Amino acid sequence: MTDGKAVTCVGHKRDQNGRLIARCSTDEVPDVGARLVASGLAWAFVKYSPDYIALEMQPRRGKVGIWQSKTQPPWEYRARRWATTAQISSEGCPIKGNINDKGERIYHAPWSKSYAKTRIDTSKGERWFCTEAEAKAAGWRAPYR
């Protein structure tokens, strides 16, 4: 789609976690995200890209790309993981605040790669958080991977 051409992204707002929401384009493709959705290669993220919803209908009906089989959008997966882990986590706060061997304070959300194997030892200063914003405000960072 971009075929090795330069891609320009312009941010237009930030989400609740401070991440920049942007639209990307090339000289030939005015909206790369729209093209991906219309081609069945991406979901229309209703929360941030409601204007892409109509573009999703044709590939969905034609079972093109991600619509070839039963799929689950990432935000639904994260919401389900969040609800499940909140039920079994400390005080309903599912984010694990872990201190690694280097003393770095890293938080792991339920969809993080290391979430299942991460154990919290509150006697070492590790703790639970209810939101990513709370973890960041306390000086913890997300894992690099």
Give the pLDDT confidence score for residue 5 in this predicted structure. 86
Hunting for tokens 């790669």 — which residue is that?
Answer: 113
Question: Could you please report the per-residue DSSP string of 48-67?
Answer: T-GGGHHHHHHHHHTT-GGG
- H helices present in 1-145, as ranges: 32-38, 53-61, 74-88, 132-137
Give the pLDDT confidence score for residue 78 in this predicted structure. 80
Protein fold of 8-68: OB fold (Dihydrolipoamide Acetyltransferase, E2P) (2.40.50)
Percentage, residues of the chain above pLDDT 70: 98
Prediction pTM value: 0.62
Give the pLDDT confidence score for residue 1 in this predicted structure. 67
Give the pLDDT confidence score for residue 64 in this predicted structure. 95
pLDDT higher at 92 or 55:
55
Structure letter (DSSP) for residue 30: S
